[in-house]
Amino acid sequence: MKNLLFRWWHSETNGVTAAAIIVGGASLASRVIGILRDRVLASTFGAGDVLDTYYAAFRLPDLLYTLIILGALSAGFIPVFAEYLDTRGKDEAWRLAERVLSVVGATMMIVCAALIVFAPALVPMSVPGFSPEKLDMTIRLTRIMALSPFFLGLSAVMGGILQATRRFLAFALAPVLYNLGIIFGAVILSPMMGIEGLAWGVVLGAFLHLITQASVALRMGLRRIPAPSLRAEGVRRILWLMAPRTAGLAVSQINMIVLLALASTLSVGSISVFNLANNLQSFPVGIFGISFAVAAFPNLAHAAGAKHDDEFRQTLAAATRKILFLIVPSTIVFFLLRAQIVRLALGAGVFDWNDTIRTAEVLGIFAMSMTFQALVPLFARAFYALQDTWTPLIAGLIAEAFNLTLAILLRDPLGIIGLALAFSAASFLNLVMLWWLLHTRKKALGAGDVALSFAKTLAASVALFGFGWIARQAVGTIFPLETFWQVALQAAGTLMVGGGAFVIVAILVKSEEFSAFRTSAVRKFWKRGEVLPGADEAQIK
């Protein structure tokens, strides 16, 4: 059994769907724990000053990590590392990884130290509406959480290695450990240390994120950490590919900071409401959109590197159809049950019905753009696989400028709802531009097959909405919906009736994606039944 678990933890995953199932399953666990994390935070502190301070303090460390490491490193590192593996051999690829790890570690040490030193000057610019007491606490929390980008930066390199070599399990589970660290901070450290315990929980989560991925990556070929240097051709090429992605992320993050700054001038708790609703809507976006984008990226990168255009188009179209099949009904569910989702996920302790209603209103607006948000990561990674990080930058710049302009125009008349509307509209614009630019470059992207698949999914989703709405209203009429279980019963009834209608229509219209997922699930369970008797000799496929 021990050997089986070891092989399972370190084994390569073949196939986009299999990889997406692993990433999606772990993402589901992470998102569930993330909702539990938000429930603990909301029930303990409510949508008020304390939680506003925590989310505001989180912004600058997250900005540094996102700009320097997260998407930028993946955009540059994975295609180049995959190319090295295919054309120069494993030894050269691992030496490249060692050099990148050294440069990233040194860079993150410098920028984290700079954030700690300059936090008193930087934080006030991001939250101009905070009182002096609230601002002082935000600065203290920011300085503690400034330690987390260092661990996350090193972990991102490990994660890039795991993605490029198709070892998705540890990569996918790292966020689970990250969220558990934050929960530990809220439940264990916060009662002892006050609000600062939350910040130390973030640092602990970042460290757990690192050691989870390092446990696999360090066994694969990393031998030593050389002195930081930019002389290697591969490192310079990665930095060149990272530059436009970093610029695009900078605009996105600055835009988010501006949105939070606008929210800080609104009623107390607006920052908390915005963040809590955003975290909830990111649940299906992360599970379905990002999971398939991450799983497809290595295949897209290898196909692009080998100049296999047909394989590239087929991989992209197949991933698009699968994302649409999963995210469109999720959008319907989140819009239909927005109040129930917020109440069940966050409604405890001091998070009252007023907080629930405010958050549900924002979640409803976010739900309108979940499909667009889920497809953007896939289309952006298609460009990254082509070693083109400039095109997504241009599209992102235009979308974020539109987002900011619309947010400023809608803030006064609509408040926090206006900020959510601006965010959703910008997501739609970003997706349209990426699709058009990619279609122009690669010509046929299987648009006909994607359109037909989307039409079938939409038909099933309409049935989900119609029958689900009837069930929701019927249960709401019978029960007063005053307790957790009454709200849960309404949500469950809606999902059962609406879900049943979705499945029936999907079968009637002969949805290929529904058939594929059903077949894949049957095979997985059947294979598991065959494997268990001979577990010691099992091979993870």
Pseudo-torsion of CA 400, 402, 404, 406, nearest 10°? Answer: -150
Cα torsion 204, 209, 210, 214: sign: positive
3-state DSSP call for residue 445?
coil
User: Token pair for residue 40?
Assistant: 């603990």
User: Token pair for residue 496?
Assistant: 């059962």
Q: Please answer whether residues 285 and 327 qualify as being in contact, where contact means their C-beta atoms are separated by less than 8 angstroms.
A: yes
Q: Please answer whether residues 176 and 26 qualify as being in contact, where contact means their C-beta atoms are separated by less than 8 angstroms.
A: yes
> Residue 444's pLDDT is what?
55
What is the pTM (predicted TM-score) of this model? 0.65
Distances from the Cα of 249 to the Cαs of 150, 161, 348, 428, 438, in angstroms? 18, 22, 35, 17, 20
Residue carrying the six token digits 């991102």: 156
**pLDDT per residue of the chain (541 residues) written in tens, 0 to 9:** 555 555 555 556 555 556 566 666 666 777 778 777 777 777 777 767 777 888 888 878 877 776 666 655 666 777 788 778 878 878 888 888 888 888 888 888 998 999 999 999 888 887 777 888 888 989 999 999 999 989 988 888 888 888 777 777 788 788 888 888 988 988 889 888 888 888 999 999 999 999 998 888 887 777 777 778 877 788 888 877 777 666 666 666 667 777 777 877 777 778 888 888 888 888 888 778 877 887 788 788 878 877 787 888 888 888 899 999 999 999 999 999 988 888 888 776 667 777 888 889 999 999 999 999 999 989 988 888 887 878 888 888 899 889 888 988 998 888 888 988 998 999 999 999 998 888 887 665 656 788 889 999 999 999 999 999 999 888 878 776 667 778 888 889 999 999 999 999 999 998 888 887 777 655 544 444 343 333 233 222 3
Distances from the Cα of 429 to the Cαs of 74, 322, 400, in angstroms? 24, 21, 9
Distances from the Cα of 484 to the Cαs of 20, 362, 441, in angstroms? 33, 21, 52
**Phi and psi torsions of 254, nearest 5°:** -60, -40
Integer Cα distance of 22 and 169 in angstroms: 6
Question: Count of H helices and E strands in the chain?
Answer: 22, 0
Q: Please answer whether residues 59 and 209 qualify as being in contact, where contact means their C-beta atoms are separated by less than 8 angstroms.
A: no
Judged by phi (left if over 0) then psi (alpha if -120 to 50, else beta), residue 48 lies in: beta
> Residue 335's pLDDT is what?
92
